[in-house]
Amino acid sequence: MQRWIVALLLLAAVSVVGSAANKKKAPDFSLKTADGRVVSLSALRGKVVVVNFWATWCGPCKREIPDFMEVYRTHKEKGLEIVGIALDNDGWDDVKPYVAKNPISYPVVIGNQQEARKWGRIQYIPTTFIVDKEGYIVEMHTGLLSKEALLKTIASLL
């Protein structure tokens, strides 16, 4: 009986170590908001960070923003941050008018294909990454991310 317990404990320990070794560190970025404030992932260490690659011309991207804002509003005090990285070709020329008409409560910065490539193969937008408090990517989601799915993912991380 004791051997079974020891074997199960060893197996559990190996599983935890194995899964930790498979985690991918999220690439750092330092990108500016419209008002010139620099947002960097490294400065958000210790928080759960939702990194959302989007564009103003993307229907599903625009659909998920209100849900992201609601989740941000209700979980910011618990240690949640959301950063929207816009991939519009004309940068702030496209994004500033959109954000002026549709205010977004979390930081929005401008990215590019080089920045997106650091995160892996982003083939479609929206693409959303959930980064844990230690700076590791725990989930990548392509396409519209529902409020329910986002809440489920961040619940155990906060």
pLDDT at position 121, please? 79
Reply yes or no on domain 24-155 having CATH 1.20.120.530. no
Neighbours of 50 (CB within 10 A): 24
Q: Average pLDDT per run of 10 along the chain, which is 158 residues long?
A: 38 39 88 95 97 97 97 97 97 97 97 92 93 97 96 96
pLDDT at position 119, please? 94
How far apart, in whole angstroms, are the C-alpha atoms of residue 120 and residue 152? Answer: 23
Neighbours of 130 (CB within 10 A): 21
pLDDT at position 122, please? 87
Pick from 115, 45, 114: which is nearest to 84 by CA?
115
- Every domain of the chain and the residues it spans: 24-155
Supply φ then ψ for residue 24, to 5 degrees: -105, 130
**C-beta of residue 68 within 8 angstroms of C-beta of residue 58:** no
3-state secondary structure (DSSP) of residue 1: coil
Sequence letter at residue 50: V
